Structure 1
Amino acid sequence: MEEGRLWVMDSGQASPCLDLGRITRSLADAMIVNQVDLVVIEGMGRVIHTNLHAKFKCDVLKVAVIKNRWLARRFGEEEDTFPVVFQFERKMVL
């Protein structure tokens, strides 16, 4: 972080459903100015559920603990444990 190579910024949203179409102007500007090459989406199940199939122009890491039984079953979890989503995707080639 001291070298300015890693930035941590929030989306500016209060909802557990991350709507990537509604990020703050400051976040959008920072991503463009700094030529972001990795986005990390981190949260509970809902943030991943709404963005699991989202595609990006940069690499993305999707990380979540699924605490909803219905959603956990959609990920194939049959036990009473909370599955973890840890998914790295390369940038979308245009």
Structure 2
Amino acid sequence: MRWIFEQGGVNLGRVDSTTTDTLVRLGKPVNPSQMKRGDLVFFDTYKVNGHVGVYLGDGRVLHDGSTHGVWINDMNHFRKVFKGVVRRVVE
């Protein structure tokens, strides 16, 4: 996530301290019905807010997985683990 935002000139923090735990505290909370392209979306995978992606719009999210690398999924793929945690770090 840090690299993606850095490409757009947005610094999300130091490399050694950019984790899902720090990212979920950035920006402002957004209602899932108001998500916009570029918002961070969090999923309760191995822990609460254990996985993060970037919302791309049209119900799609870009994320990095340990088995597939960087890829795009439909938000429906995460329906069981998406609890509505969204953060907007860029207006």
Into which bin does the TM-score normalised by the smaller protein fall?
Answer: 0.3 to 0.5
Relative contact order (alpha carbons < 8 A, sep ≥ 6): 1 or 2 greater? Answer: 2
- If you compute each CA radius of gyration, which structure gives the higher value, 1 or 2? 1
TM-score between the two structures when normalised by the length of structure 1: 0.31
TM-score between the two structures when normalised by the length of structure 2: 0.32
Q: Greater share of strand residues, 1 or 2? A: 2
